[in-house]
Amino acid sequence: MNFQLLKKRIKKNEGFSLKPYKDQLGFITIGFGHLVLRKEKDLIKKKINKKKLEQIFENDFNKALKDFNLYLSQTTSTKKDSELLIEMIFQMGLSSVLKFNKLLYHMRQKNKHLVCFEMMKSLWYRQTPNRVKNLIINFLKK
């Protein structure tokens, strides 16, 4: 799997901000979609440079990859499956992705169209429709 291309896509989908902002759910976020945790309040108070935010992105990506490898790698059979789940984990967190029971079932059954159907009927789709549409397009490409 080409992690550099996946990281590039995630960065594009997340966008970038040097300053903290509230995401569509009202959570304070910075950099490439990094959710600011209580213990990270210094990210709000101090001026943070892009290099530091790149390091945070790498940590977030590595956590998503680790969670994927520990809990969901057995669900996938293709590179596209893996990339989709890693990006979902990056955006929503592992606990949210594990609630996509039907999507994961259809992925194990290798039914790409029903995987996409589950994506489209989700709250995730209603919250970030353009991102999910782009992921569906990428997922269905050969």
State the total domains in the chain.
1
Helices 3-14/129-140 angle, 10° precision: 160
Q: Which domain holds residue 61?
A: 3-140
Where is 129: in which H helix or E strand? helix 129-140
**Helices of type H across 33-128:** 42-45, 50-71, 79-92, 94-97, 101-108, 112-120, 123-127
Q: Which long-range contacts (CB under 8 A, 24 or more apart) does 32-38 make?
A: 32/56, 32/57, 32/60, 33/60, 33/90, 33/91, 34/60
Is-above-0.85 flag for pTM? Answer: yes
Q: pLDDT tens across 7-53, in order?
A: 999 999 999 999 999 998 899 999 999 999 989 988 887 788 999 99
The token pair at 139 is: 């997922």
Q: Does 2 have pLDDT greater than 80?
A: yes
Confidence of residue 62 (pLDDT cuts 50, 70, 90): very high
How far apart, in whole angstroms, are the C-alpha atoms of residue 45 and residue 5?
32
Task: Report the CATH number that the domain containing residue 34 is assigned in CATH.
Answer: 1.10.530.40
